[in-house]
Amino acid sequence: MAHPGQELAITRQEGPARILNRDAFLRLLDLEVKRSRRYQNFFCILVLKLSELYPHEDGGDLQTCIERMAQLLGEEMRDSDILGALEENRLAILLPYADLLAGGDTRSRFENSLRYYDFSRDGYHVQIEQLCFPRDGTDTPDLVEKMMGRKFNTHR
């Protein structure tokens, strides 16, 4: 019997990338904020949002798109990068030790990888936004607010 506080942190473990659930991802984000403050490091977060292009009667094939996205991104991610689900249609990738320039390079690489799969065929559009610590926020709540789509500063 599992202890009530010990839930599985991984929502999907298929393919090259694991997707952490929201709580596990936010715990790791908070640890990274604390570590980055202590050691004066940078890090970036890439937020990937799937927007529905046209209404689906059955809710569409969102889960298939997310799994495909995780598979494509998994081929480009470093072992230290952390992929997590924020909402049903929003993923985030924590890039430890990545500054603004390195985060932008990674974003470009991910955008190029995602072009090989036509998400519009499944009725979705993928948008990637970039946040950098400490430029876009110096604490976890501020970064979470921005990751959830409230007031983005877009960098390239």
The parts of the chain modelled with pLDDT lower than 70 are: 1-17, 56-60, 150-156
Burial of 142: CB neighbours in 10 Å, binned 0-12, 13-18, 19+: middle
- Please give the C-alpha separations between residue 47 and each of 61, 132, 152, in angstroms, as whole numbers: 20, 11, 10
What are 82-108's pLDDT values in tens digits? 999 999 899 999 999 999 999 999 999
C-alpha 46, offset from chain centre: 5
Residue 56's pLDDT is 65
Residue 68 and residue 56: Cα distance in Å, rounded? 19
Residue 68's pLDDT is 87
Class (C level, CATH) for 15-147: alpha beta
Residue 115's pLDDT is 85
